[in-house]
Structure 1
């Protein structure tokens, strides 16, 4: 049954994407930014509906009142593809920092450009960092919420934290609050896995970090905010009546992961 539900969710996932792209494609060049954002929000919200109905995965959001309506830097834990979609409908005017390669994918990539996502070339060195800062400043000036995964790529549940320089760079350059987010999505929507395990994914919006801290203090505070909260959410899932598979690394004491 678990395999069948996972299979059906994959069908629903790609069907939803195909329908939205095909229906809106004739109007692509005429779509204003606001319409493109609404289309992306409709796609992500519909996908979350399919996740609940087909795969049996519900979503609980804690601390929703901490999400900003003005310019801010959103820093979520990144465990799976789930958070690339689930956070989008929750924010007023979000923009993701994305790998440039993703934005070159036909159709899908076109819509990310239209919706104003920020492309980053991971191999571009200091030049790429300057462009990232310039694009992010422009987005912040428009009051957008900029979503950047501090670890850059998906990390297995329980893996030691691996925060990249990009989050420090944008914190220094943008001078806006940083909103840390913890979650346990990787237990139910594991990276590089076909399976979707039923249960409740918890997204917890944590206390904002104000601008103005030095880089070392900021990074230490960010890690000390996100990592224990994430470990707590994983432990909460493990203690539930019907826990998903818990990776061995996630069961190690927090000190062993640091």
Structure 2
């Protein structure tokens, strides 16, 4: 039954995405920014609703009081596609740092440009960082929040984190507060499976880190906040549902926090 519900959700999820992009294309093309953001947040909210109704996967997002007014970096744990849409309704006009290749997808790439997303060429090595700076500075000047995944890719729950230079690069160049975000989405939306499991995905906006820290101090604080709280949320997931699958990595991490 879980597999069947997951397949139904996958079909409805992409229909919801395509429907919003096609039906509202004229409004997005010719309308003001507030219309564009209404469409985007409508898609995100309906995706969360579909996930809850079809698969029984709920969302609980807390800590919104820690989000500063105006420009900020939102550094989130990245375990699944869930956080790509689930965090959007909680923010004002967020922009994502995303792979350049995604900008070439029909319709999706057009919407991404219209929304001011920031493409990064991950094959450009050192030049990749400079490639995102202009877009990030433009977003900050407009008072927007920039969502970045410090690990650069999805990681399995409990896996050893490897933070990339991008988060520190933007933090030092932009001079804005950084808000860590912890979550446990990978337990319910595995990165290597189409299955969506019942339960409550939890995410938490942590207290903002002010600008001005050096690289080592920043990474120490960011990792402590994100990894520490994400581990706590991982533990709570298994406390809430003892029927969730346990990988060897997760089992080891749970033993560490027992």
Q: TM-score, normalised by structure 1?
A: 0.94
170-179 or 34-43, which moves further after superposition?
34-43
Equivalent pair of 2:68/2:208 in contact (CA under 8 Å): no
Equivalent pair of 2:177/2:211 in contact (CA under 8 Å): yes
- 1:75 — aligned with what? 75
- 1:122 — aligned with what? 122
Q: Shift in Å at residue 33 of structure 1?
A: 3.3
Alignment map for 1:94-243 (pairs within 5 Å): 94-243=94-243
Equivalent pair of 1:58/1:201 in contact (CA under 8 Å): yes
Equivalent pair of 2:28/2:35 in contact (CA under 8 Å): no
Equivalent pair of 1:231/1:250 in contact (CA under 8 Å): no
Alignment map for 1:27-42 (pairs within 5 Å): 27-42=27-42
Q: Shift in Å at residue 217 of structure 1?
A: 0.9
Equivalent pair of 1:36/1:115 in contact (CA under 8 Å): yes
Q: Which whole-Å deviations, capped at 9, do the CAs of 1:97-130 have from their partners, x for residues lacking one?
A: 1111011100111111111111111112333312
User: 2:246 & 2:51 partners in 1: Cα distance?
Assistant: 20
- 1:5 — aligned with what? 5
User: 2:221 & 2:159 partners in 1: Cα distance?
Assistant: 19
Mark the CA change 1:234 to 1:255 in structure 2 (over 3 Å): closer, same or farther: closer
Equivalent pair of 1:52/1:58 in contact (CA under 8 Å): yes
SS at match of 1:207: coil
Equivalent pair of 2:158/2:253 in contact (CA under 8 Å): no
Paired residues, number? 256
Equivalent pair of 1:158/1:247 in contact (CA under 8 Å): no
Which consecutive residues of structure 2, in runs of 5 or more, have no partner in the other structure? none
User: 2:255 & 2:172 partners in 1: Cα distance?
Assistant: 28
Equivalent pair of 1:199/1:243 in contact (CA under 8 Å): no
Equivalent pair of 2:199/2:241 in contact (CA under 8 Å): no
Equivalent pair of 1:72/1:145 in contact (CA under 8 Å): yes
Equivalent pair of 1:68/1:145 in contact (CA under 8 Å): no
User: 2:162 & 2:144 partners in 1: Cα distance?
Assistant: 26
Mark the CA change 1:226 to 1:240 in structure 2 (over 3 Å): closer, same or farther: same
- 1:59 — aligned with what? 59
Q: Shift in Å at residue 222 of structure 1?
A: 0.6
Q: Shift in Å at residue 204 of structure 1?
A: 1.1
Root mean square deviation of aligned Cα? 1.6
